[in-house]
Amino acid sequence: MKKIVITGMGAVTPVGIGVEEYWKNIVAGKSGIDTIKSFDPSELAVRFAGEIKNFVPTDYLPKDLVRKTDPFMQYAYIAAEEALRQSGVTIEPERTGIVMGTAMSGVATTAFTQDALSGASHKKVGPRFIPKILGNIAAANIAIDYNMQGPSFTVSTACSSGGDAIYIAATFMQAGKADVMLAVGAESVLCPLVIYSLANAKALSRRNDDPVSASRPFDVTRDGFVIGEGGGALVLETEEHALARGAHIYAEIAGCGNTCDAHHVTAPHPEGRGAKACIRQAIAEAGIQPSDIGYINAHGTATHKGDAVEVAAIREIFDGALPYVSSTKGATGHMMGAGGITETIACIKAIETGTLPPTINLNEVDPECAGIDFVANTAKQANIRYAMSNAFGFGGQNSSILLGKYK
């Protein structure tokens, strides 16, 4: 098999725009969760989220691009721009492609447009509405501006979308369809429609009086996840291509997993059937032992069932050689399609720096989750060779991306 390496990273997150700002604040244990500012949430049951702070799109993008794009597309574009700039890769049009991951595409634009239409005396919807809500247009805008004529796919596998974008991008290169692939994940779902639905499903934390510490992965007092938004991007190359141009290699994709629970639309399999199979799949592809993995960036959304099932799966697979585990969602909230990429970046930085990002707001570990070092509240130093990012989503979707120190 061809070795696939990572030569560029980009991030737009609630704790910072740019990989270095994101990483600095994640390691410092800062929270990006606060009361929603982009619209008036006062009538909602849940009034807080992980928003991108002080975001002025025209500071990063041309005005024309801003007018014709949804925020999730803007986050994708900005992250992609950073990753490509960091990589320094020269685009070879027919040998360069893109895979975009997003769970809900332009749902917020759809909701706000319908709301405006319902209250308007003149029933008019702008010509840019459809291109602004289509998931693939995020990838299309990037491909158009960078002349990427190779494979172009958009994947929507709920909260696994970002991780699956990495897997699919790597698979294209393994198949010889491209030498360079851009894997991107992005999400912006903040609108009353989505918040009402998730709140009524009892999936969201309701700590309106304390949003900063509302996201509490693995804590006994956790009461649901917090919606986050943002974007992430990775430049993937075949090792041969990266070495030929003298690229700096941050890490290698050691193995990938993708499975389905085939159990329930929203609840994980109670025994973690799909999650365990997915993790094992990635380890088997890498040709290593579970004990070789030093750190896992868990899906860890702070839901009761989800956290407990994931921990049980980790305990079973890593029995006797438990790695450090943390969930950066305590700081960012659940960024859905973007999380699979930004959390993979956290794994890459952990390998590169020897610093493990903490699980913030973890004050008392739930007995169901006990027995694992969750790097509670304060970052730790550890020399690790392999790290794994898990992303599990509605529909029983499971993604595991295993990163290795480049050899």
CATH number at residue 154: 3.40.47.10
pLDDT score for 234 = 98
Domain count for the chain: 1
Q: Which residues contact 2 (CB under 8 A, 6 or more apart)?
A: 173, 174, 238, 239, 240
Known active-site residue 191: no
Q: How far apart are CA 225 and CA 232, in angstroms?
A: 20
Q: What is the mean pLDDT of each run of 10 residues along the chain (407 residues)?
A: 96 98 98 97 97 96 95 98 98 98 96 87 82 96 98 98 98 97 98 96 97 98 98 98 98 98 95 97 98 98 97 95 97 98 98 98 97 98 98 97 96
pLDDT score for 407 = 86
Q: Which of 241, 256, 269, 334 is catalytic?
A: 334
pLDDT score for 121 = 61
Cα atoms found within 13 Å of the Cα of residue 98, Cβ hemisphere only? 31
Helices (H), 271-318: 273-286, 304-317
Q: Is the dihedral of CA 128, 131, 133, 139 positive or negative?
A: negative
The partner residues of 232 in beta bridges, in order of sequence, read 11, 185
Q: Which residues contact 144 (CB under 8 A, 6 or more apart)?
A: none
User: What H or E segment, with its residue span, contains residue 392?
Assistant: strand 386-393
| Beta strands at 230-238 and 180-187: parallel, antiparallel or unpaired | antiparallel
- The two tokens of residue 133 are 């809500």
Q: Which of 99, 124, 97 is nearest to 113 (CA)?
A: 124
Known active-site residue 264: no
Residue in the structure block whose two tokens are 């930085």 = 349
Q: Which of 256, 299, 347, 369 is catalytic?
A: 299
Known active-site residue 299: yes
* pTM of structure: 0.97
Q: Name the 3-class secondary structure at 262.
A: coil
Q: How far apart are CA 354 and CA 208, in angstroms?
A: 35
Quote the domain boundaries for residue 99: 1-407
Q: Which of 159, 191, 256, 369 is catalytic?
A: 159
- The two tokens of residue 226 are 């917090």
